Amino acid sequence: MKFPIQHRLMAPADDPVPPGSGLPTGSRPEMGRGMMLQASSSDCGSSGPFRLDGRTALVTGAVGILGRHFCHGLAAAGAAVVVTDLDESECERLAAELRRDHNVPALGLGCDITVPESVDSLVERATRALGDIHILHNNAGGKSSNLDAFYARFEDYSLDEWRRIMAVNIDGTFLVTQAVGRRMVAQGKGGSIIQTASVYGALAPDQRIYEGSEYQGRPISSPAVYAASKAAVIGLTRYLAAYWADAGIRVNCLCPGGVESGQNEEFRRRYGQRVPLGRMAQAGEMVGTLLYLASDASSYVTGQVLMVDGGLSAW
């Protein structure tokens, strides 16, 4: 576990505000809603409701398979990005990439989202460096490093492993949402919170797709704790959408379907047969939905659960 190493704000090499970003290097920017930063490249055009110029987004699980794509997408749309995950040096590396590729402020911070003090420190350091947070993307979650325990059959599942997954997927989501949401309420400018659940928070996995499957050298499945934790994320989303509506904070949930990331051909074939679009997702295909939910393009959308699943939930 690597966190939190003190970020040296004033050292030019670590400066989260890149030269040419329209903000003074080494300064603490005031990220007001109307403030325009120059983004050097963008997949979303230079104006319009999908742009995020002048907003700061905090992304958890930022250096994982999907997180990297999400961070690049937000930065390309003009947002300053707080890149956070367990390993601070990995976060710093990705933040440097975002500054270089998109010319936006970006900051890499280590945080274990299951530890309240670590989450408080994350929010404190992020706001000290980049000002208000307008967008929170709770993306951390997923697998355990002990794959035998994680993929164990339900009859044999250990309470320790159940709690470990719950601690990240739901306790961690609770802690970060509470800390950033509290901040958003105090800022008085509203905000957008995007939770990441899964199709399996709403649907049962078809157990037949796992026959002959292989991933990271072993058969795979999707354990019950994953489904239960992601269903809880969906419940939290709907609750908070209603709870924070009067503060102008929208809360929505992105539910990815299975993303191709090295599964064997047999699994990809079986999964593809279950999906109307006939294939697994590519990681980058989640980004458009995130930008929609993060931006004013979805200004009248809250409490929604968006399936990005190739149609799996449609039949």
Ligand X SMILES: NC(=O)c1ccc[n+]([C@@H]2O[C@H](COP(=O)([O-])OP(=O)(O)OC[C@H]3O[C@@H](n4cnc5c(N)ncnc54)[C@H](O)[C@@H]3O)[C@@H](O)[C@H]2O)c1
Indicate whether 123 belongs to the interface with ligand X (CB under 6 A).
no
Indicate whether 205 belongs to the interface with ligand X (CB under 6 A).
no
Nearer of residues 23 and 232 to ligand X, judged by Cβ: 232
- Hey, is 88 helix, strand or coil? helix
**Residue from 29, 61, 73, 191 binding ligand X (CB under 6 A):** 61
Indicate whether 63 belongs to the interface with ligand X (CB under 6 A).
yes
**Residue from 4, 18, 29, 141 binding ligand X (CB under 6 A):** 141
- Hey, is 294 helix, strand or coil? helix
Query: Amino acid identity of 41?
Result: S
Least distance from ligand X to the Cβ atom of residue 274, Å: 14
DSSP label at 313? G
| Residues 150 to 169 in contact with ligand X, rule: CB under 6 A | 168
Q: d(Cα 25, Cα 29) in Å, to the nearest integer? A: 9
- Hey, is 247 helix, strand or coil? helix
226 is catalytic: yes
Which tokens go with 198?
């899964």
Strand partners, 137: 59, 194
**Residue from 107, 140, 170, 287 binding ligand X (CB under 6 A):** 140
Q: d(Cα 192, Cα 299) in Å, to the nearest integer? A: 9
Question: Which of the ranges 23-31, 140-148, 156-164, 178-186 carries the binding residues for ligand X, by CB under 6 A?
Answer: 140-148
Strand partners, 58: 82, 136
**Residue from 142, 181, 191, 223 binding ligand X (CB under 6 A):** 142
Least distance from ligand X to the Cβ atom of residue 182, Å: 19
* In the chain, beta strands by DSSP E: 56-59, 80-85, 106-110, 135-138, 191-196, 249-256, 305-308
Indicate whether 108 belongs to the interface with ligand X (CB under 6 A).
no
Catalytic residue among 151, 200, 210, 226: 226
Q: d(Cα 180, Cα 175) in Å, to the nearest integer? A: 9
Question: Which of the ranges 37-45, 50-58, 158-166, 254-262 carries the binding residues for ligand X, by CB under 6 A?
Answer: 254-262
Question: Which of the ranges 15-23, 44-52, 133-141, 203-211 carries the binding residues for ligand X, by CB under 6 A?
Answer: 133-141
Question: Which of the ranges 27-35, 124-132, 238-246, 253-261 carries the binding residues for ligand X, by CB under 6 A?
Answer: 253-261
**Residue from 16, 18, 54, 67 binding ligand X (CB under 6 A):** 67
Q: d(Cα 160, Cα 98) in Å, to the nearest integer? A: 37
Quick one: three-class SS letters along 141-189? CCCCCCHHHHCCCHHHCCHHHHHHHHHHHHHHHHHHHHHHHHHHHHHCC
Nearer of residues 37 and 307 to ligand X, judged by Cβ: 307
Binding site for ligand X (CB under 6 A): 60-61, 63-67, 85-86, 111-114, 139-143, 168, 172, 196, 198, 256, 258-259
Q: Which residues are catalytic?
A: 226
